Amino acid sequence: MTLDHSLVEELMSANALGGLDDDDTALLLRERAAHGDCAECRVIETGFAETAGRLAFALTPVPIDDSMIDRILASPREEPLAPVAATAADPSDELSERRARLPRAWQALAAAAAVAAVLFVSVGTLARSTTTVNLVSSSQRVVAFEGSNAEATLAMAYTPGEPGAVFWGSGLRDPGAGLVYEIWMIEDGEATSGGCVTPTDGVIALAVDASIGSSEAMAVTSESSDCPASPTGPVVFSADLNTVL
């Protein structure tokens, strides 16, 4: 099936400039999820992002104090991320501790999500299309998100009709200084925040109380650390829940 990209292109042109309003941001998230692993979408998005980035050079440069370099170089660097397969297949004690810190009600779901992460890695993936795997019980679902970073995996475990969900990811990059990842539930074009999280050593383990309910799609964006009420940053992961089996 050939998808129409006219709406996506219009939304992405404004998104690259930082000019989307909240409702259009939610619409873009939904469209992105609906298009799934879409090569043309990536070409459009990359092309507009490149164009927008270059607009900055129209401005006259402003001298900047060289001492800033030394202040930056004095800050500690990130340790390289552990290989994804090793992280997922052989969870460390630290990860076990992190799971143990999750609210008790979510521990079973967290375990299911971790199993799902192993499954995804073991088949050499983040699956390029949204996938569901039934685990533990037939009512529980695990959804794999799509993302532009092929080394990263992100899965969500939830039970339809019941509040809450657990997110489990590995191989994620640090979102950068002052930034976090924010999870969004999208329904009727409205994006509702499911919370913010920063990966530790590339790993996310997060239980949220928000109800997935009848959300049509999920998305994860990069946002400022104050966790804004509406999405403004680029989409890092997305999942179309309507395609879940």
Site of interaction with another protein (CB under 8 A): 9-10, 13-14, 16-21, 24, 42, 46-65, 68-69, 71-73, 75-78, 80-81, 148-149, 173-174, 176-179, 222-224, 226, 228, 232-234
**CB 153 → another protein: shortest distance, Å?**
16
**CB 51 → another protein: shortest distance, Å?**
4
Q: Which is nearer to another protein, 23 or 162 (CB)?
A: 23
**CA of residue 196 relative to chain centroid, distance:** 10
* Rounded Cα–Cα distance for residues 44 and 187 (Å): 25
Q: Which is nearer to another protein, 174 or 216 (CB)?
A: 174
Q: Which is nearer to another protein, 142 or 236 (CB)?
A: 236
Q: If 0-12 CB within 10 Å is exposed, 13-18 middle and 19+ buried, where does residue 156 land?
A: buried
**CB 169 → another protein: shortest distance, Å?**
16
Give the residues across from 195 on adjacent strands: 183
The residue among 166, 173, 150, 155 whose CA lies nearest residue 239 is 155
**CB 166 → another protein: shortest distance, Å?**
26
**CB 107 → another protein: shortest distance, Å?**
31
Amino acid identity at 46: T
Q: How far apart are the first and last CA of the chain?
A: 19
Q: Which is nearer to another protein, 93 or 226 (CB)?
A: 226
- Count CB neighbours of 60 within 10 A: 5
Cβ pair 179, 221 in contact under 8 A: no
Q: Which is nearer to another protein, 7 or 100 (CB)?
A: 7
φ and ψ at 97, to 5 degrees? Answer: -65, -40
